[in-house]
Amino acid sequence: MKPEAKFKRDFLKRMHGRWATQLVEDEHSRNVPDIAYADGCRCGWIEAKYMTRPRNADSIWKIRHLTDGQIEFLHRWWKFGAPTWLLIGVGEKKDGVAETLILLPGNRVQDTVGRSYRQYMERSVLNISMNFAPSSVLNVLRYARTPGKLAW
């Protein structure tokens, strides 16, 4: 199993039963985020990526397989009121086992790409251990913004 697929599986397994999710991965869904979610009357999109932790926190961090189209989707849908997120699982090895989660709102992704790991951490709304309480993630997804208004 590829590292990114393993990370997504582990994340969704940890969140199981707390929300409705649908993986969106087919040839007809180019640039659409990996996960559509609903929690109560709140729906949104999450693009999930897995990266290894850089040795130097100040070096440029290039997220593999994050396309311009995906970045544009996250930014555009956020702008029009749909919660969109970039979720990055960070691990020590290329095995898909994440120790840390970084969650960036869709409107911050475009300006964060090409920055250092430290800047990703600073610009995130959530960076926690993978041993997180699922409520920590849900609270951010539920309350981080009011639809239609840019909170950041």
pLDDT (mean) for 63-78: 93
108: confidence class by pLDDT, cuts 50, 70, 90: very high
**CA–CA distances in Å: residue 142 to residues 19, 30, 43, 97, 137:** 11, 26, 9, 26, 9
Contact (CB, 8 A) for 50 and 3: yes
72-104 pLDDT, tens per residue?
A: 999 999 999 889 999 999 998 888 888 999 999
HEC states along 127-146?
EEECCCCHHHHHHHHHHCCC
Q: Is 50 exceeded by the pLDDT of residue 152? A: no
81's torsion region: left (phi>0), alpha (psi -120 to 50) or beta? left
Residue type, 27: E
pLDDT at 17: 86
